[in-house]
Amino acid sequence: MEFTRVAKDTGCQARLGKIKTPHGEVSTPVFMPVGTQAAVKALTPEQVRGLGAEIILCNTYHLYLRPGHRLIADLGGLHRFMNWQGPILTDSGGFQIYSLGALRKITEEGTTFQSHIDGSRHFLCPESAVEIQEAFGSDIMMCLDECIAYPATREEAEKALGRTARWALRCRNSHRSERQALFGIIQGGVYPDLRRRGVEEIAAIGFDGYAIGGLSVGEPKELLLENLAATAPLLPEDRPRYLMGVGTPEDLVEGVYHGIDMFDCVMPTRSARNGLLFTNGEKVVIKNARYREDGSPIDSTCDCYTCQNYSRAYLRHLYVAGEILAMVLNTIHNLRYYLRLMERIREAIRGDRFRDFRDGFMRERTV
């Protein structure tokens, strides 16, 4: 993997870049649609690509449990298995295991957990997390880390920070595939000084890219932004910077402002299935009766297939009737909204006017 910085906005930390992988190039800043189980819900890979996606994220925990990494490897790897020819980033499964709560136990060696599918017991350690992702053949792999809940004491955050660094070294030492990049993850809870220490320890090991993990786990927005602002500028400038699982449109704009290059979140696809649609102004809850006779598109400025062909009234009808097509059309719109937002962001950075773009965008969101 190669990362090239193309431009930097003079008014803030926002930057334009290119990530070159064996399966193609990615323009940054970039939003990665989430294909948890080797599928972006409600859409075909061709539709996802057509919306402007250059890279997607798949989930190690879910694919390890079903259908299994060895089966995927035997069938030619994750790209062939799901018919996605572009770059793929796989997470390590650490966040999903953290989410299991009482169904998992973390030790220095690794994590023992019960499957949420059938209750079977499994063990995941730094070495096996890398082994599984190498079997997938993903372009970018993530180190196994220890994510903590909010609130967490300073002692708990410091303990997880130390374990994450030790696990990162073990991941680095077990990394064998030269065609697959490996990113380290910064933890530290909501304590900026611990985040700083995390950057120092993970950067000292040396990775192809760096991610900020453990945010958007229930903390107030102001704490998220405080720790983002304190951490992002410290990450190595010559490597991609990835803010994991953070994903409102406002979060993306703020992340770019502070120098983040990569984002992922289930928000656009999950919101689409729940009938929440994003626009440049209002959020449209499509089931509301106010849209029953509304012949306008979701967003008159949107170039997606849904907005070009269907009215709010029709989309409301589909959603209320429980039609599968509602999920498809809503997801097309929400993903295109996110990907078009990133296109607008890149255009603003290219023109050295991202700070003005951010200010205008935030004003729109508060109207």
Q: Mind listing the pLDDT tens digit for each residue in 254-292?
A: 999 999 999 999 999 999 999 999 998 889 999 999 999
pLDDT given at position 102: 85
Give the tokens for residue 6. 């193309």
Which residue reads 């953290």 in tokens?
98
Helices (H) and strands (E) in the chain, counts: 15, 16
Backbone CA torsion sign across 272, 42, 45, 78: positive
**34 alpha-carbon distance from chain centroid:** 7
Residue ranges of the chain with pLDDT lower than 70?
366-367
Identified catalytic residue from 9, 145, 251, 264 = 264
**For the chain, which residues make up each domain, given as ranges?**
2-265, 266-357
Round to whole Å and give the CA distance between 359 and 336.
22
pLDDT given at position 365: 81
Is 193 known to be catalytic?
Answer: no
Identified catalytic residue from 91, 145, 208, 299 = 91
Round to whole Å and give the CA distance between 195 and 186.
7
What does the DSSP 8-state code read for residue 289?
A: G
pLDDT given at position 267: 98
pLDDT given at position 12: 97
Report the mean per-residue pLDDT for the chain.
97
Round to whole Å and give the CA distance between 173 and 127.
8
Percent with pLDDT over 90 in the chain: 95
- In CATH, what number does 2-265 get? 3.20.20.105
Round to whole Å and give the CA distance between 62 and 133.
12
Give the tokens for residue 346. 């890149």
pLDDT given at position 274: 98
Apex 33 CA angle, 29 and 38, nearest 5:
140
pLDDT given at position 366: 62
Is 264 known to be catalytic?
Answer: yes
Give the tokens for residue 306. 């849904």
Name the β-bridge partners of 34.
57
pLDDT given at position 128: 97
